[in-house]
Amino acid sequence: MCATMSEGIEFEGNVIGTNTNTDFPTYANEDDDKPKPASVCYQWWKRPSGVAAVCLGLLCVLLLARIIGLSVHYGVIGHQYFTERDKLQTSYNNLTEERDQLQIKYKTLTEERDQLQIRYKTLTEERDQLQTRYKTLTEERDKLQSERESFLLVKVFGNSNYYVFMEQRNWEYAKQDCLKRGAQLVIINNQEEQKFLVSLNIRFWIGLSDIENKGTWRWVDGTPLTTAYWGEKEPNNEGGGEDCAEIRHVFTDPVKKWNDNSCTSQLNWICEKPID
């Protein structure tokens, strides 16, 4: 860059010259006492400061290249990050919407389930009520059928209705059954009534007994017996336990048909109920 100047300039004492054959005058150097360098221009890169500057420049270039590389690298990573983040956000939003839809569907199904449970409970109560009603009607039907089969309203005689029961029970049962029906085991007050009952041609209990006082016959309403229609040789208290009266068709007399019998015997019975 700078050629060595010692080739054209020499220092000889106090005179500076470039050619000894010229006619130019020479002058004395004011600093002739100071030592002169071998050359006027020194190579800059050989200086320590030049080396440092070169190293610093290279370092700056390397740092700049590194920064550019990192910027490019992190730019790519950032792009990938934001792309992946957007995908995840979209996926999250979709899942959130699906979750909300499922929650709405779950709420709807829960409400439908509750409505069905209420409806089921209502139907169950209605079913139970119908079953209870059916049971009640069945019992009433069976009772009516039993009553229809167990007794027959024969006819009205005088001022009373007469119910003839076709099932067979003991005397006490017959008495209590008539009371439950608002009637009494039949009480015979006169011969016309006796003839009417005999004309039914069945064997049945009448409301007469000597249970309270042996040998003293009384009707179920507490009145004593005044007119009797005992059959031949009756009452005979056969076996010592015949305390209840019945009408029995084994006697020849057309009217006198009473017979004393064990109160535990199983016979039909007739309830008498006055007409209101």
**pLDDT per residue over 140-150, tens digit each?**
888 777 666 55
Residue 252: which CATH number? Answer: 3.10.100.10
Residue 72 lies in a domain: no
Predicted pLDDT of residue 35: 53
- Do residues 227 and 190 make contact, with C-beta atoms less than 8 angstroms apart? yes
Select the more confidently predicted residue: 155 or 75: 75
pLDDT over 70, % of the chain: 80
Q: Identify whether the C-beta of residue 166 lies closer than 8 Å to the C-beta of residue 177.
A: no
pLDDT at 220 > cutoff 90? yes
With tokens 């011969």, the residue in question is 191
Mean predicted confidence (pLDDT) in 60-80: 87
Location of structure tokens 């009553």: 147
Residue 15: pLDDT over 50: no
Query: Which region among 11-15, 134-138, 158-162, 191-195 has the lowest average model confidence (pLDDT)?
Result: 11-15
What is the pLDDT averaged over residues 219-248?
94
- Residue 4 is assigned to a structural domain of this protein: no
Which of 53-67, 97-111, 137-151, 182-196 bottoms out in mean pLDDT, i.e. has the lowest? Answer: 137-151
Rg for the chain, CA atoms, rounded:
72
pLDDT at 13 over 60: no
In a domain, 266, yes or no: yes
Q: Assess whether pLDDT exceeds 70 at residue 23.
A: no
Residue 268 falls within a domain, yes or no? yes
In a domain, 43, yes or no: no
Q: Within a domain: residue 241?
A: yes
Three-class DSSP category at 202: coil
Tokens of 273: 């109920």
Give 48 or 234, the one with higher predicted confidence. Answer: 234
Q: Which two tokens stand for residue 69?
A: 């590389």
Helical ranges in the chain per DSSP H: 48-150, 171-180, 191-198
Mean pLDDT taken over the chain? 83
Domain assignment present for 164: yes
Residue 275 has pLDDT above 80, yes or no: yes
- Which residue do the tokens 């050619």 mark? 19
Work out the pLDDT band at 33, boundaries 50, 70, 90. low
What domain count does the chain have? Answer: 1
Residue 5: per-residue pLDDT: 42
The predicted-structure confidence for 93-131, as pLDDT tens digits, reads as follows: 999 999 999 999 999 999 999 999 999 999 999 999 999
> What CA–CA distance (Å, rounded) separates 112 from 140?
41
In a domain, 75, yes or no: no
d(CA 42, CA 11): 18
Question: And the tokens for 136?
Answer: 């009640």
Which residues span the domain enclosing 170?
158-274
